[in-house]
Structure 1
Amino acid sequence: MIVSFLLIVPVTLCAPEKHHKKAQTYEVEENHNVTVEWCFSSRVDVSVASLKIHCLLTPELKVFYHLDQSVKEPQHQQFSGRVHCDVDALGAGRVRLHLSRARTEDSGQYLCRMSTGFGRKVNEFWLNVTAAADRLKPVLPPPQPSGRHRIFLCLCLVLPVAAVVVLVSRLCCSSDSP
């Protein structure tokens, strides 16, 4: 925890630079995967052994990702086993972190401090995890009418037909009589 505090102080002091760019926002639905990515160097010969990356979820100071051979700091249990770094991208000057099975509590502001043998950089991004959409409800057939409704429906259909039949038969019978 002390290491987190000591690392976050320079991050917060460096964050409000004059040429501060707008923080990237990533949106993902709960239980889906998301990849956060940014460039930290224009050099393509970055030695991964010389690279230090420390990413925190603020303001709780939960360690999201940590890469440093000299300092041992465990990842916060909230992210344990769910954050993976693309090492090939690091050698090309890019940080690419994959977060699997995003949770709503992963939402928030993240600050990352990167350091190499030729410079330092601070990156900030926001992650917004929305609740998973309700599962589609199965389509049910329309409810069948109850017994009373069936009787009423039959009477409404049968009575007019019966009345027409009686009327036609009386007309036919009355026209046959002299």
Structure 2
Amino acid sequence: MESKGSMLKLSLCHLLLSFSVSSAGSFVVNVTQSWYHAEENHNISLEWMFPTSTDPSPNGLYVYCEMLADERPSLMFHLYEGVEVPELQDKRFAGRVQWDKDVLREGRLRLHISRLQTNDSGLYWCQVDTSYGMNYKECHLNVTAVKDPPEPETTSDTRLRRIGLYWALGLTAALLVLYSFCLCITKRMRDQYN
């Protein structure tokens, strides 16, 4: 097993070599969507498609995916000779990016990003390099903040209860006054007849 430093050097050399060598015009990398929109704390799948060969071996497959933002590029996913290299992944994506190994043979790279954060918004690009060609494609991800649900209006609920209580007390007092008045009139009428 190679050390992390030598793997990084090999990966960077391979990436630089890939950029300097022009690939055949028939090798095209595409995305299923150019723009993705999601809310924070949700999950999303980004997908790139590329041509496959009759050789089923992934040994000649190199994939390098980055997220480009205002701060600096962040390595999201790296496949070296068909093997994932999670040690090189940026810490911000650690444990949040998974890939579908099954669809890779069909020429699809599907990356699942979980627990999205607003700072995951940006430009994502993946370069696919094989023995029969190399190319890259980019897509955009926009992650919006979760809108807070409106807080229950406890102040108006309390106010309504208080108003109801005042009405009940006022009505009770009015009924007591009316009852007392009726008692007084009834007593006066009895006294007059007696």
TM range (shorter): 0.5 to 0.7
| Aligned residue number for residue 112 of structure 2 | 98
Matched, 1:38 2:52: no
DSSP-derived class of the 2:48 partner: strand
Question: Counterparts of 2:95 and 2:176 in 1: how far apart (Å)?
Answer: 76
Unaligned regions of 5+ residues in structure 1, if any?
11-19
TM-score by length of 1: 0.68
Q: How does 1:136-147 map to 2 (within 5 A)?
A: 142-143=157-158
Are the counterparts in 1 of residues 32 and 49 from structure 2 also a CA contact under 8 Å?
no
Matched, 1:64 2:47: no
Question: How many percent of aligned residue pairs carry the same amino acid?
Answer: 31
Letter in 1 for 2:50: F
Q: How does 1:2-13 map to 2 (within 5 A)?
A: 3=12, 6=16
Question: Counterparts of 1:36 and 1:66 in 2: how far apart (Å)?
Answer: 15
Q: How many residues end up aligned between the 2 structures?
A: 165
Unaligned regions of 5+ residues in structure 2, if any?
1-7, 21-29
Question: Counterparts of 1:9 and 1:136 in 2: how far apart (Å)?
Answer: 51
TM-score by length of 2: 0.63
Q: How does 1:103-114 map to 2 (within 5 A)?
A: 103-114=117-128
Q: CA deviation at 1:94?
A: 0.7
Matched, 1:160 2:174: yes
Q: CA deviation at 1:122?
A: 1.6
Q: CA deviation at 1:133?
A: 4.1
CA RMSD, Structure 1 to Structure 2 (Å) = 4.0
Are the counterparts in 2 of residues 45 and 92 from structure 1 also a CA contact under 8 Å?
no
Question: Counterparts of 1:106 and 1:33 in 2: how far apart (Å)?
Answer: 11
Offset from partner CA, 1:146-176 (integer Å, 9 cap, x none):
8xx96x5565122321232244445555666
Letter in 1 for 2:35: T
Most deviating of 52-61 and 162-171: 162-171
DSSP-derived class of the 2:92 partner: coil
